[in-house]
């Protein structure tokens, strides 16, 4: 069996197959997804998985294949959302009703300590910890409202993942893995005012349960050389990418000197007080992928600047890490 086919789901569309097909094609065009169509079979490649739609007079047979169980569910959720807008539903052959959302691990807090004046380091323990060290640099923390019993996202009878809403809605900030070994993982929280995550970190203690879902959000950009620029929220991502790469790399960080940690001694890294100016002044050698992350306004400016330099869309990343 191919790696792509390890995990599967299949189901029928009994009404609205035509509308489903049209919606899939429109989405493929909108998201620039690879699409093949032959002999009544539509095949869409997305997120490392595959979605097929075989139309027949009786309706359509939908099938998902992916290398990970959680990817099957992610594709199934995206499909359900797309088709719901057309009033179309898939009757799945089998559904793990009541199971935790794919990719969700419930982990225990081991410790929260000050890594530096501006950062807290959190260590979590759980048997799925190692899964978060590959395939994506980031994950979402799922923090239930304070004082309420947690309600975790689970798979419903329809095959869709149902997320708690209203008073049970979860806070879902994105963080970056900072370290992992055995059954633990660590991440660093940049301390700032008005942060529910910082409040959680200040009030949690060993043994508390927290949800961690992922990993996701990309890996090292593919290029001969890397230029990485970011503010404090991007420091963990830049540190991780520098640790993972053996390609020529340079990094510029807009963080307080006392928060640089081990990056202060890394000759590839410099500190700045103005990330945008640093980007605008940077010499960018051919073959470089420029990666920029910070406040959404800074990311927007970076995107415009890099496009204005004539860089292609695939040659840079400009990500809003906070707003
Ligand atoms: C892919 C990705 C990876 C990330 N990795 C990390 C990481 O490893 N460590 C980390 O600390 N952050 C990281 N971030 C940023 C983090 O997700 C945001 O800062 C997020 O807003 C934190 O959630 P919160 O509970 O503090 O705040 P929210 O509820 O989102 O926001 C609360 C308030 O805090 C403000 N705020 C948010 N971030 C900042 C900030 N940096 N400075 C000042 N005010 C702020 C908001 O404007 C808002 O007013 C990452 C973001 C992305 C997209």
Please give the DSSP secondary-structure letter assigned to residue 100. Answer: B
Let me know whether 22 and 109 are in one domain.
Answer: no
Same domain, 108 and 189: yes
Collapsed DSSP state (helix, strand, coil) of residue 71: helix
Tell me, using a 6 A CB cutoff, whether residue 192 lines ligand 1: yes
236 lines ligand 1 (CB under 6 A): yes
Structural tokens at position 204: 């949690």
Residue 97: inside a domain: no
Which residue is closest in CA terms to ligand 1's atom 45? 192
Q: How many CB atoms lie within 10 A of CB 154?
A: 16
Between CA 74 and CA 163 the distance in angstroms is 13
Residue 249 to residue 267: CA distance in whole angstroms: 10
Contact 188 CB / ligand 1 (< 6 Å): yes
- 117 with 205, same domain? yes
CA of 255 to the centre of ligand 1 (A): 14
Cα 217 to middle of ligand 1, angstroms: 15
User: What is the pLDDT, as a whole number, of residue 69?
Assistant: 84
Together in a domain, 136 and 85: no
> Which atom of ligand 1 is the closest one to the Cα of 197?
25
What local confidence, expressed as pLDDT, does residue 1 receive? 43
CA dist 213 and 196 (Å) reads 18
Whether 120 maps to a domain, the answer reads yes
Ligand 1 close to Cβ of residue 119 (< 6 A): no
The predicted structure's pLDDT at residue 116: 98
Same-domain status, 245 and 153? no
Q: Which CATH number covers residue 118?
A: 2.40.30.10
- Provide the whole-model pTM: 0.91
Determine whether the shortest distance from the Cβ of 199 to ligand 1 is under 6 A. Answer: no
How many Å apart are CA 136 and CA 232, to the nearest integer? 20
- Do residue 204 and residue 253 come from a single domain? no
| Residue nearest (by alpha carbon) to ligand 1 atom 7 | 175
Residuewise pLDDT in 10s, the chain (323 residues) = 455 668 999 999 999 999 999 999 999 999 999 999 998 899 999 988 999 999 988 899 999 999 988 889 999 999 999 999 999 999 999 999 999 998 999 999 999 999 999 999 999 999 999 999 998 999 999 999 998 999 999 999 988 999 999 999 999 999 999 999 999 999 999 999 999 999 999 999 999 999 999 999 889 999 999 999 999 999 999 999 999 999 999 999 999 999 999 999 999 999 999 999 999 999 999 999 999 999 999 999 999 999 999 999 999 999 999 99
Residue nearest to atom 38 of ligand 1 (CA): 322
CA of 173 to the centre of ligand 1 (A): 7
202 in the same domain as 155: yes
Taking the CA atoms of the chain, what radius of gyration do you get in angstroms?
A: 22
Domain range for 126? 104-216
Residue 184 near residue 128, CB atoms below 8 Å: no
Q: Do 75 and 140 fall within a single domain?
A: no
CA atoms within a 13 Å half-sphere pointing along the CA-CB vector of 274 = 6
Task: Report residue 268 CA to chain centroid gap.
Answer: 26
CATH of the domain at 287: 3.40.50.80
Asked if 23 and 83 sit in the same domain, the reply is yes
Which one of 123, 137, 173 would you pick to mutate in the ligand 1 pocket, going by the greatest count of ligand atoms within 8 A of its CB? 173
- Is 17 domain-assigned? yes
């Amino acid at each position: 069996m191919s790696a792509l086919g390890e995990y599967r789901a299949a189901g029928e569309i009994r009404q609205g197959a035509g509308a489903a097909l049209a919606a899939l094609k429109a989405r493929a065009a909108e998201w620039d997804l690879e699409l093949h169509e032959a002999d009544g079979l539509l095949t869409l490649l997305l997120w490392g998985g595959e979605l097929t739609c075989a139309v027949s007079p009786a309706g359509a047979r939908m099938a998902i294949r992916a290398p990970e169980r959680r990817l099957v569910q992610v594709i199934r959720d995206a499909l359900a959302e797309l088709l719901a807008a057309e009033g179309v539903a898939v009757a799945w052959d089998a559904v793990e009703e009541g199971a935790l959302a794919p990719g969700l691990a419930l982990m225990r807090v081991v410790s929260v300590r000050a890594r530096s004046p501006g950062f807290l380091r959190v260590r979590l323990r759980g048997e799925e910890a190692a899964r978060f060290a590959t395939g994506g640099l980031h994950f979402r923390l799922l923090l239930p409202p304070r004082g309420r019993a947690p309600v975790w996202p689970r798979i419903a009878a329809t095959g869709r993942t149902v997320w708690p809403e209203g008073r049970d809605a979860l806070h879902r900030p994105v963080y970056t893995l900072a370290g992992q070994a055995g059954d633990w993982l660590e991440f660093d929280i940049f301390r700032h005012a008005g942060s529910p995550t910082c409040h959680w970190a200040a009030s949690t203690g060993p043994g508390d349960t927290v949800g961690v879902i992922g990993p996701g959000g990309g890996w090292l950009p593919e290029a001969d050389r890397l230029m990485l620029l970011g503010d404090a929220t991007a420091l963990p991502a830049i540190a991780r990418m520098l640790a993972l790469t053996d390609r020529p790399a340079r990094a510029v960080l807009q963080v307080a000197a006392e928060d640089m940690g081990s990056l202060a001694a890394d000759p590839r890294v410099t500190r700045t007080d103005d990330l945008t100016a640093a980007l605008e002044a940077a010499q960018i050698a051919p073959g470089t992928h420029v990666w920029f992350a910070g406040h959404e306004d800074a990311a927007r400016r970076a995107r415009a600047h890099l496009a204005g330099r004539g860089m292609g869309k695939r040659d840079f990343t400009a990500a809003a890490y906070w707003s």
